[in-house]
Amino acid sequence: MQADTLIERYPLFQAASSETVDWLMSVATHHDYPTGRAVVMEDAWGNAVYFIEAGWVKVRRHAENSSITLAVLSRGDFFGEMAILDESPRSTDVVAMTDVKLMSISAQRFIQTLFKDYQLHHRLLQIMVQRLRQTNLRFQVRHQPPAVKLANTLTAIQEAYGDSVDNGVELFNIPRKDLADLADITPDEAEKIMTKLIEKDWIVEDLARSLLLLKNTRQLSHLAGRL
């Protein structure tokens, strides 16, 4: 991967110096994980930060005999930074939802880089604040109808990771259970709402390619209360 590609792909590195980017590329390790494989495990000590080159992962937490999906992440995003910043065991699992390509940087080297490049340090703080704001937004809509909460979830995901095509925005077809967890609704509610959105032709489900085509993002944003 070229330095320009790294900067373009990962917002975190857009403020980093060229020396920082070149050094990180020289010490990075690349990994391939198949669908369903755990990338990191809850309660394991953080030893690296992971950057998603391709594919989708979900962040989940175990609760009794089940698990709850807290977030989905895709190309250009990263995870694992919290466990190395506070030097504690990981509080969540990260599992590959599709075949995934990752780049990792060891905890020691990542921390060293943050001390050396204050612009990168500041950018990391900005992104962590953005994630906190997204969490706050989900909290603010917790009493909204299920359709509004699901529309908020789909809108946030497509804004972060959607691929623009001629007739809309394409996303990975997130399983209904995970989508329901993200929106804080039941799987039955998620299924019924998605069925209605498909009937309205706002969304097209491509089962063969495991994709959703969001054909009417403006209407989804309106339903989410963002317009």
Report pLDDT digits (tens) over 67-97: 899 999 999 999 989 888 887 777 789 999 9
Same domain? 109 vs 131 = yes
Same domain? 184 vs 201 = yes
Same domain? 29 vs 120 = yes
CATH code of 103's domain = 2.60.120.10
Q: Is 94 within 8 Å of 50 (Cβ atoms)?
A: yes
Of 93, 117, 139, the residue at which a domain comes to its end is 139
Query: What is the distance between the alpha carbons of residues 7 and 33, in angstroms, rounded to a whole number?
Result: 23
Domain containing 97 equals 3-139
CATH code of 198's domain = 1.10.10.10
Same domain? 87 vs 153 = no
**What is the pTM assigned to this prediction?**
0.91
Can you tell me which residue has the tokens 């789909």?
A: 154
Whole-number average pLDDT of the chain: 91
Q: Strand 211-214 relative to strand 203-206: parallel, antiparallel, unpaired?
A: antiparallel
Confidence of residue 192 (pLDDT cuts 50, 70, 90): very high
Q: Is 149 within 8 Å of 185 (Cβ atoms)?
A: yes
Structural domains of the chain, count: 2
Same domain? 25 vs 127 = yes
Q: Which of 24, 96, 30 is nearest to 60 (CA)?
A: 96
Same domain? 112 vs 172 = no
Same domain? 23 vs 83 = yes
Over residues 160-185, the pLDDT tens digits come to: 999 999 999 999 999 999 999 999 99
Which of 2-6, 164-168, 182-186, 194-198 is predicted least confidently? 2-6
Across 14-28, 76-90, 143-157, the highest mean pLDDT is recorded for 143-157
Of 114, 139, 164, the residue at which a domain comes to its end is 139
Question: What's the confidence (pLDDT) of residue 137?
Answer: 81
Per-residue burial over 8-47, b if 16 or more Cβ lie within 10 Å, else e, is: ebbebbebbeeebbebbbeebeeeebeeeeebbeeeeebe
Of 85, 111, 139, the residue at which a domain comes to its end is 139
Q: Is 148 within 8 Å of 141 (Cβ atoms)?
A: yes
Question: What's the confidence (pLDDT) of residue 202?
Answer: 95
Question: What's the confidence (pLDDT) of residue 226?
Answer: 65
Same domain? 83 vs 184 = no
Same domain? 122 vs 151 = no
Same domain? 16 vs 86 = yes
Same domain? 185 vs 204 = yes
Same domain? 22 vs 128 = yes
